[in-house]
Amino acid sequence: MLSAAIALTRPGGVVLYATCSPHLAETVGAVADALRRHPVHALDTRPLFEPVIAGLGEGPHVQLWPHRHGTDAMFAAALRRLT
């Protein structure tokens, strides 16, 4: 699904990949795979959440946890297509 979204995005466009999964293969693993396979660059998504949620880690993606953030397990990453 992420690969298809990247393929449909114009150069310079941004894909926001968000999932409610806590599984690494569906979160950071999927983004790492996209970074290896596609001409994309990861953007820091923390500024989108920091006004509301603190303690988001080192980025560039955001992983929210029930025990830490009082939310469902959610993940967000932004990828800018380069070419």
- Give the pTM: 0.92
6: how many CB neighbours lie within 10 A of its CB? Answer: 18
Residues with a known catalytic role: 20
Confidence category of residue 57, pLDDT binned at 50, 70, 90: confident
Backbone angles phi, psi at 81, to 5 degrees: -75, 130
Lookup: tokens for 63? 């992983």
Place of tokens 């409610």: 20
Lookup: tokens for 59? 């980025």
Query: pLDDT per residue over 9-38, tens digit each?
Result: 999 999 999 999 999 999 999 999 999 999
pLDDT at 51 exceeding the cut of 90 = no
Residue 52, C-beta contacts closer than 8 angstroms, at least 6 positions apart:
none
- The domain 2-81 having CATH identifier 3.40.50.150: the answer here is yes
